Structure 1
Amino acid sequence: MPLFHMHGAPIGSTAIMLALVASMGGFIFGYDTGQISDILLMQDFKLRFATCSDYSNASTCEFTVVREGLIVALLSIGTLCGALLGAPTADRIGRRYAMVSECFLFCIGVIIQITSMHVWQQFAVGRLISGLAVGGLSAAVPMYQAETAPTQIRGTLTATYQLFITLGILVAYCISIGARELSGASSWRLVVGIGLIWPAMLSFGILFMPESPRWLCAHNRPKEAEVSIARAYGIDRSDESAMRVVREEVKGIMSQIEFERAVRAGWLDCFRPQHKTLYRTLLGMSLQSFQQLTGANYFFYYGASIFQSVGIQDSFITQIILGAVNFVCTFGGLYIMERYGRRKPLIIGGIWQSLWLFVFASAGTAKDPSTNPGIGKLMIVSACMFILGFSTTWAPGIWILIGETFPTRTRAKQGSLSTASNWLWNFLIAFFTPFIVKAIGFRYGFVFAACNLAGATVVYFFLYESSDLSLESVDIMYNDPNCKPWTSSSWAPPGFSSRGDLIEQTKAAESQKPLAAVTGDVEKPRGDNETATNSSPTTSVAGTHNEKA
């Protein structure tokens, strides 16, 4: 039985569970990201891996900027490679088994880390291997969620990946503040070792979830695809009328797959200017790069060190405050992205984040925060307000857009290129931040403030509004010469007067025919130049997976 109905379409409990279970992949990444900031300050970790003038006194131990940068940043190099390999792996062995194998690889990386004795390179290599797994999960999880979740809640369920990243960061901060009181290597080994629990949960849970119906159809397993779709929508398989609709949907998916095989694209096709393919490749890579250049990971990777330098006696507490703000506000981000679209939140978020980074950098530059408590408190407030803006706009918004922006034939490869750009900048920021901070101190905030303004500018001039449109309609919009990014919010497919008209007619049609097969443009693929005649955007059970190429 359906758990509830959204705009008249059934939503099964399995659809919610598969999104939550798969999002543990995001939790794994968040936990690995959040733990390193506090571990770098733990006394036993510094005694083992830093350079000390007196190895009996941790206060004499300091990491060189190269060593600190590599320990933090090698995770990102692994994620960069893993993101490029993740999609082919998921295509070969299936979305679920790809996640299981990547969880196993992550556990190997954790074991290498916790068995490190005095060789910091071993710990760094362990993070590199864990990063390979995290990168693979970052490709497999959103793909699985987008292909299996109902369209009516696709954006929200896909964004749970980002929500679980923030939860993982917060949990890492909370565990670290308790573990720091432990003696010896138990302090940091416990924090790292607990990371074995999360991949075990994902590996076990995902095996009880249905495989992606699109992957099953691609491997000539239509009967299993029928079961997968029925479970996602809470349809009783003994209900023959409902199952007829499911079988029609499977036929549509099979037809779409045959179409894709006929027009299968290579990597070079991502850089061809026809049909704005190159335009969208560069746009996706730019948006993912700017998500890193907002400066969020400046606080997540080095937050404990930052707040220690502004005179905060217990920087671990400050980290928890930042993590809590990040997690709680991400719930608001899920609502904002569904309610206000993509463009406006990203533009406003970029400006908001820039403003508070200017305050943060100006305060830290004007006076020494370590000797001026008022300045230190202002910097903490500024950081929290920045995180509030980031977690409600750029954090969830970019991941949603990566699943919506690209055309069918090159979507997987363009998504991989965009995600790889994210991890590349993640590495560059993680590695070079110690060097830059040593040279310019808190003026580093001005760099990120300028990047936020640049990101908002790119969104205004180049990003089209894709909310409330089917994936095929998004492709038509990008190729409409009369549509500009700044006018795209009101664009609608042929046959509709406006975006609002499209939404109202979609809701009305879905409430009247919640299980009816669509007969418009979603059901069968067309070439880029064909016109959407009879283009009802109604996305019922029969059209949901068909548009998720």
Structure 2
Amino acid sequence: MGALFYVQGVPIGAVAVALALIASMGGFIFGYDTGQISDILLMKDFLIRFAQCGTPGDVSTCKFSTVREGLIVALLSIGTLCGALLGAPTADFLGRRRAMITECGVFVVGVIIQITAMHSWIQFAIGRLVAGFGVGALSAAVPMYQAETAPAQIRGTLTATYQLFITFGILVAYCIAIGTRSMDNSGSWRTVVGISIVWPAILSAGILFMPESPRWLARNERYDEALMSLAAVRGISKEDAPNHLLIQKELEEIRSVEEYERKLKAGWLECFRFGDGQKTGYRTLLGMALQSLQQLTGANYFFYYGATVFESVGISDSFVTQIILGAVNFGCTFGGLYIMERFGRRLPLILGGVWQACWLFVFASAGTAGDSSTEGIGKLMIVSACLFIMGYAMTWAPGIWILIGETFPTRSRAKQGAIATATNWLWNFLIAFFTPFITRDIHFRYGYVFGACNLLGVAVVFFFLYESSDISLEAVDQMYADPNCKPWTSRQWAPAGYANRKDLVQQSRAAESHKPLASGAMEESQLEKAERKQ
């Protein structure tokens, strides 16, 4: 075993990259389930079986009522909301890896319920509800596992792979749907739904070969295993790990925080505690606000109802338009991996929110002021939608999932992450269910609502969000607890003993190389003392 590469002078092992990719299959499941329903609602056999038809068997007379369409789309979100809340105690009790395997099993049950539906739209909707339990629990467990296990130097990139796989799942769903839509029988939609059993199988098998979260292990006083977990993601051999200064330093930081937090309560009410000096309640509300605002960007308006929207503006093949949007979403997320690591969390979210609002205003203005069925207006709306998706994929889409993994203290991270993620799914449901009603009354002016919400998100980030890039999860706790640190000055904050975050990077390099810094920030005697303790 050896380091795959070095970042900021410290080693990163192949296991760190592998665990991010494998765990992100949970995001793929999320994205695939999100992307499939938009096209399925337009498939002939699905309409004949589950819609309301004036003449039985004649698809031209079949149409979903607003309520039925809203429930089929939105019940998934109700399941995910409940699943996200149940995911916290499951992840704490079973461990992050075993919890993910269990949640994959729940999702498969939901898929089976859907594909065995014959003529009951209620059975299909219940299947989406059950599948949602698994998706929601995974959406809470995966970012938490990635953030707790990934090295701090690339935590943003590795955690953002969850969002990358969400976009990949959406795109794959669109591609499979366009390949099966020509079938006249139930294979058109059953193939799209049924193939999703493959994704949890990949996640369940792959995660067995990955290390458990070192912070969960430390919380359960399994320090030897935590040491091996840290060593694995750094590419350090088991033989060298006990005497490796960087690994020992990381373990001691985790141990000291865990021993302190073990004495504190970590119930659900504790997540809303104010005045404890740790901003616990503040961080919970911040997480809830960010997850809500991610939904209110308007992205799922296009992902859930894009095919219907673009069919209404005169696009001859709305399936193809969906694939274009999905491809933009997937491709631009690669840029998001770089942006969120290179420029931190606050600046991309602020600029991204402004960009998204501008293009939503263009989309809404074009659809409202002009004849949306004309070719020119239709193309302008598609271009503005693509540019909106581009900004979203590079900022708010990956950024919020990164923050959910790294904002909360270890003792209550699972519960706070679950509450925040459940808020995401609550708004997901509200948007999915009420969009048909809203668009029926205000049509494309709906874009103005989402544009305003993006600007609200910019304000929330500027005034309340702390910059958590480049520092350990334990240091994030210290930053939020520092009364002298404000959100707009947090980029310059560093833990005690460091002049700034650049100095922190330099000291990490020194710990890796066992060399003192010329600046004297870490004296040679300190290193020698640390080595004598090993």
- What TM-score, normalized to structure 2? 0.92
| Corresponding position of 1:510 | 508
Q: 1:237, CA displacement in angstroms?
A: 2.2
| Corresponding position of 1:266 | 267
| Corresponding position of 1:16 | 17
| Corresponding position of 2:102 | 101
| Corresponding position of 1:469 | 471
Q: 1:281, CA displacement in angstroms?
A: 1.9
Contact kept in structure 2, 1:237 and 1:243, CA below 8 Å: no
Cα distance in 2 between the residues matched to 1:338 and 1:51:
49
| Corresponding position of 2:358 | 355
Cα distance in 2 between the residues matched to 1:247 and 1:369:
63
Describe the shift of the 1:46–1:400 C-alpha distance in structure 2 as closer, same or farther (beyond 3 A): same
Describe the shift of the 1:310–1:514 C-alpha distance in structure 2 as closer, same or farther (beyond 3 A): same
- Superposed, which structure 2 residues align to 1:252-331 within 5 Å? 253-274=254-275, 275=277, 276-331=279-334
The secondary structure found in structure 2 opposite 1:365 is: helix
The secondary structure found in structure 2 opposite 1:235 is: coil
Contact kept in structure 2, 1:249 and 1:517, CA below 8 Å: no
- Superposed, which structure 2 residues align to 1:135-284 within 5 Å? 135-239=136-240, 242=243, 246=247, 250=251, 253-274=254-275, 275=277, 276-284=279-287
- The code of the aligned residue for 2:505 comes to K
| Corresponding position of 1:405 | 407
Cα distance in 2 between the residues matched to 1:487 and 1:511:
25
Cα distance in 2 between the residues matched to 1:60 and 1:342:
50
Contact kept in structure 2, 1:248 and 1:517, CA below 8 Å: no
Cα distance in 1 between the residues matched to 2:247 and 2:403:
28
Contact kept in structure 2, 1:494 and 1:535, CA below 8 Å: no
The secondary structure found in structure 2 opposite 1:181 is: coil
- The code of the aligned residue for 1:509 comes to Q
The secondary structure found in structure 1 opposite 2:11 is: strand
Cα distance in 1 between the residues matched to 2:410 and 2:256:
13
| Corresponding position of 1:421 | 423
- The code of the aligned residue for 1:98 comes to A
Describe the shift of the 1:25–1:318 C-alpha distance in structure 2 as closer, same or farther (beyond 3 A): same
1:439 to 438, 441, 446: 441
Q: 1:231, CA displacement in angstroms?
A: 2.0
Q: 1:460, CA displacement in angstroms?
A: 1.7
Describe the shift of the 1:251–1:15 C-alpha distance in structure 2 as closer, same or farther (beyond 3 A): same
Q: Residues 372-421 of structure 1: CA distance to partner in whole angstroms, max 9, x if unpaired?
A: 11000000001000001111111111111222323444333222211111
- The code of the aligned residue for 2:297 comes to T
Cα distance in 1 between the residues matched to 2:134 and 2:410:
26
- The code of the aligned residue for 1:356 comes to W
Describe the shift of the 1:125–1:535 C-alpha distance in structure 2 as closer, same or farther (beyond 3 A): farther
The secondary structure found in structure 2 opposite 1:338 is: helix
- The code of the aligned residue for 1:507 comes to V
Contact kept in structure 2, 1:342 and 1:467, CA below 8 Å: yes
Cα distance in 1 between the residues matched to 2:251 and 2:483:
34
| Corresponding position of 2:346 | 343
Q: 1:347, CA displacement in angstroms?
A: 1.2
Describe the shift of the 1:432–1:99 C-alpha distance in structure 2 as closer, same or farther (beyond 3 A): same
Q: Does 1:43 align with 2:44?
A: yes
The secondary structure found in structure 2 opposite 1:4 is: strand
Q: Residues 198-229 of structure 1: CA distance to partner in whole angstroms, max 9, x if unpaired?
A: 01111111111122223333344434333333
| Corresponding position of 2:391 | 389
Gaps of 5+ in 2: none
What RMSD, in angstroms, separates the aligned Cα atoms of the two structures?
A: 2.3
Describe the shift of the 1:97–1:410 C-alpha distance in structure 2 as closer, same or farther (beyond 3 A): closer
Contact kept in structure 1, 2:246 and 2:512, CA below 8 Å: no
Cα distance in 2 between the residues matched to 1:490 and 1:251:
25
Contact kept in structure 1, 2:178 and 2:319, CA below 8 Å: yes
Q: Does 1:365 align with 2:368?
A: yes
Describe the shift of the 1:452–1:10 C-alpha distance in structure 2 as closer, same or farther (beyond 3 A): same
Contact kept in structure 1, 2:245 and 2:514, CA below 8 Å: no
The secondary structure found in structure 2 opposite 1:226 is: helix
- The code of the aligned residue for 2:501 comes to I
Q: Residues 404-443 of structure 1: CA distance to partner in whole angstroms, max 9, x if unpaired?
A: 3234443332222111111100000001001111111111
Cα distance in 1 between the residues matched to 2:233 and 2:463:
38
Q: 1:29, CA displacement in angstroms?
A: 0.4
| Corresponding position of 2:117 | 116
Contact kept in structure 2, 1:493 and 1:535, CA below 8 Å: no
Describe the shift of the 1:437–1:334 C-alpha distance in structure 2 as closer, same or farther (beyond 3 A): same
Q: Does 1:450 align with 2:452?
A: yes
Moved more, 488-497 or 382-391: 488-497
The secondary structure found in structure 2 opposite 1:211 is: coil
| Corresponding position of 2:133 | 132
Cα distance in 2 between the residues matched to 1:16 and 1:226:
18
Gaps of 5+ in 1: 519-533, 544-549
Cα distance in 1 between the residues matched to 2:427 and 2:97:
28
Cα distance in 2 between the residues matched to 1:355 and 1:252:
44
Q: 1:508, CA displacement in angstroms?
A: 2.4
The percentage of counterpart residues that share the same residue type is: 68
Cα distance in 2 between the residues matched to 1:510 and 1:58:
65
Number of positions where the alignment pairs a residue of Structure 1 with one of Structure 2: 518
Moved more, 290-299 or 274-283: 274-283
Q: 1:4, CA displacement in angstroms?
A: 1.2
Cα distance in 2 between the residues matched to 1:135 and 1:43:
30
Describe the shift of the 1:202–1:516 C-alpha distance in structure 2 as closer, same or farther (beyond 3 A): farther
Moved more, 386-395 or 204-213: 204-213
Contact kept in structure 1, 2:111 and 2:196, CA below 8 Å: yes
Cα distance in 2 between the residues matched to 1:493 and 1:222:
24
Contact kept in structure 1, 2:246 and 2:511, CA below 8 Å: no
Q: Residues 312-369 of structure 1: CA distance to partner in whole angstroms, max 9, x if unpaired?
A: 1100100000001001111111111111122221111111111111111111111221
Q: Residues 430-487 of structure 1: CA distance to partner in whole angstroms, max 9, x if unpaired?
A: 0100111111111111111111111111112222222223334333333444433233
Q: Does 1:62 align with 2:87?
A: no
Contact kept in structure 2, 1:15 and 1:150, CA below 8 Å: yes
Cα distance in 1 between the residues matched to 2:135 and 2:343:
30
The secondary structure found in structure 2 opposite 1:10 is: strand
Cα distance in 2 between the residues matched to 1:424 and 1:207:
31
- The code of the aligned residue for 1:329 comes to C
Cα distance in 1 between the residues matched to 2:494 and 2:231:
31
